[in-house]
Structures are given as C-alpha cells and as structure tokens.
Structure 1
C-alpha cells in the first residue's frame, strides 16, 4: 500500500482541527497565559461538536504543553516559559518526507520507551495498558474510539518508563500520528489492519509484563516497522 498524503489532510479528525484552532489563538495572543479556557460545554456548542471531541482536543493541547488541566476546575493556558520550545504544525506533515522523518524520530524513542517500561512499570501501568487494549479490541475497535485507544496505549507505555520526558515527547508525536492511522485505515481492508495492529500491541504488552526489555524493544520495533510499511514509508533501521 502506498499512502496518498492528501488523505491525511482530508481525514484530519475533529479534535485535531479544534486543538489547532485553539493553539493558534494561544500562540497569536488572543488567549493569554493564565486564562481559563471556556468549559467543555461552551466549546462543544461553539464548535458544533460533542464534548468528547472537545475533551480529546484539550488532551492534545495538554500534551503539547499549551494548557494545564486542574481537576474539577478546568483548563488553563500555561505560562510561555513553561512550554516546550517545539511545535509541529499539522500542515507541515502533508509532505511525505516530513512525515517519514517524524516516524524516523518515533522509532528510537518508542523502542527505548518499551525497554524502559519493561523494567520500570508497576501494576497500575499494566492495568492501564490492559484498559487501552480492552478498548482496542472491544465493539468500538472499528471506529475512531479504536484509534484513541491505540494512541492511549503508547502514552501509557511512555508513562511506565517513569521518565516524564518520554511521556511529553511521545504524547506530542502521537497526536500527529493519529492522522496517519486514520489515513491507513481508509486505504486498507479495515478488518485486516485492525487485527494486525491489535496483535502487535498485545505482543508489546506481553513483553513488557514479562519484564524483558530486549523482548519489549523488539516487539515495539516490529510494530513500528509494520505501521510504517502499512503507510508505504521506509525507515532506516539498524
């Protein structure tokens, strides 16, 4: 399968579009540091979407360091000095080579994260991984909820390293990769790609649970190379 990168633009899902709009307002100063974002209800009504879509958009902004959420209070724009100094605009990834380079960065990051997670995870991390896998394999696995669960798996794995920088960078990249997952599903036989992807994630989970970092790294390598192959991309891997 060769990916038509025009599909990524056409398949850009609603949370990303909303997050991009809010991020632009923050970067351009229309929403200031310390400002509280409108409630989920107000944002959902303003954008004409469901609250779950808004919730996912806020999660993306949080991963990018643009907002912080306070339990029971809401989401607030972070101070500029506390934000990561990187930002990748979604338009930049319409280009095949730029997208391949993002995946190339993902390869060493997530392979190393899998190995560290195998060593440092606790029972709570495994429980969360199992929760994402249950969502990936449940009745909603054919829908966008399956994609959300897929990305959540990678974020949970990053958190299991006990290194917050893995969580930050992998979470940041995952939101961009979500568009590729949508495009890959659109360009393949859905049943085949979903079942293969689930099997790859199960193999990673079992390797992490066994506390074998070498096995976990290899399982993640197979998954990422399989994912890039399904996108018609080729990475350098040694």
Structure 2
C-alpha cells in the first residue's frame, strides 16, 4: 500500500491521531476490506513515531472494529459486513457536555470491570496489569509513554474480566478519554498529578490482586472520580 500518511505533530495525542488517519483510509476505501496494513515498522517510519505508538493506534482501530489482527501475520482491514458501528470522532468530544457524558458512562463500566477482574483474573493477566503499572512508574512516566501505559493498564483490567464486551467498550472509551489525561496533565503540576494517578492505580491493582471485588471497585471509583475532578467535570453519582 502506497498511502502517504505523512508525519504528524508531536503536540497531538499520537495514537488517536494515527488511528484516525488510518481509519479514514479504511472507511474511504483506500485500504480495501481484507487488505493487510503495512507492518508496524513501516507505519512507525511513515508517521515518524515509535512502534509502541503504532500498536496503540492499531489497538484503537481493533476496538472500533475497523481492523483485525492475526497473531504472527499482521493487521488487516475488517470486511465491511463484519464492521461494528461503534465510532466516535475525536472532534465530537470537543463539546464539554458530550465529553462529560462519555466520562460518566466510563465510571460504572470500569468499576464493574475492576470487581470482575478481582474475581476472575489469572496469574498471567495480573502480570499484564503489573507490567502496565511498572511502565507507568518508570522513567517514562513524565512522557507520552506514561499515557500509553495508563491506557494499557485499563485494558488489562478489562481483559481480566473474561468478558470480551468489557474489553471492547472500555478499550473504545479509554482511547477517547486519553484526551482527558493530556488535559489533566496540562492543567496541573505534572509531578503532583502523575504521582497521585500512580497511587490510585496501585490501589486498584492491589484490590484486584487480593481478589477483593469491593476494594477493587471502590479503588477504581475513587480513581475515576478523582480524574473527573482534575478536569473540573461534574459527575452525578448516587
């Protein structure tokens, strides 16, 4: 495929922007249904980003049903008749009310996901949660890679529910909420917000690891309410 995606600005949220560009190529037919996408290496070179950013973009497209991945083979544009209709353009969330509503939907989904993950997770799934948390707390925590790790943590929790619909919907929403992570970092002292966010994720992980659904769910609720407050969003709760 000879599509010229072009490099994009580092100031944008890279995975979401790359996913949007590739998504348009698919929906507008320049990447045909069933056609294999370029390799991660080629896409990374084309966009001028790391392979991990490309992987996040492909994961978003997979959550949207536009791409299917085959282990050891690569990523392919989904056949039209198998595509899902779940799609929200990034621009739609420029409206504060719409953004708040999407964030409010996230809370009950992720609280329940944390509870289910506490009950159903395997040692391997807990390992993936720990791996994402380790990346969040490492030297990259001040950079965009910290945001990538944050999203990976939430997807790992969703995967540990053993309910594919949680992974589908939470993965889809989390990619859009990634804009919130950027906004929160921009609106606060970075060192403070990163450390607070990490502590909240550690509490979620500990609740899951302890197989305590109440503790895990409340830790997730505390984290999401805190995230909303850092964005000055008013979220109704009962």
TM-score, structure 1 normalization: 0.91
**Superposed displacement of residue 193, structure 1:** 0.3
Is 10-19 or 119-128 further displaced after alignment?
A: 10-19
Match in the other structure for 1:192: 192
**Superposed displacement of residue 44, structure 1:** 3.0
Unaligned runs of 5+ in 1: 1-9
1:48–1:135 distance in 2 versus 1, CA, 3 Å = closer
* Equivalenced residues, count: 229
Structure 1 segment 9-20 matched on structure 2, within 5 A: 12-20=12-20
1:179–1:12 distance in 2 versus 1, CA, 3 Å = farther
Checking the alignment, whether the CA contact within 8 Å between 1:129 and 1:156 is kept in structure 2 is yes
Match in the other structure for 1:6: none
Question: How far apart, in 2, do the equivalents of 1:72 and 1:57 lie?
Answer: 18
4+ aligned runs moved over 3 Å, structure 1: 48-52
Match in the other structure for 2:125: 125
TM-score, structure 2 normalization: 0.91
Structure 1 segment 84-123 matched on structure 2, within 5 A: 84-123=84-123
Structure 1 segment 1-238 matched on structure 2, within 5 A: 12-238=12-238
Structure number with the bigger relative contact order (C-alpha 8 A, sep ≥ 6) is: 1
SS at match of 2:139: coil
Question: How far apart, in 1, do the equivalents of 2:42 and 2:206 lie?
Answer: 42
Question: How far apart, in 1, do the equivalents of 2:42 and 2:124 lie?
Answer: 34
When the two chains are superposed, the root-mean-square deviation of aligned CA atoms in Å is 1.5
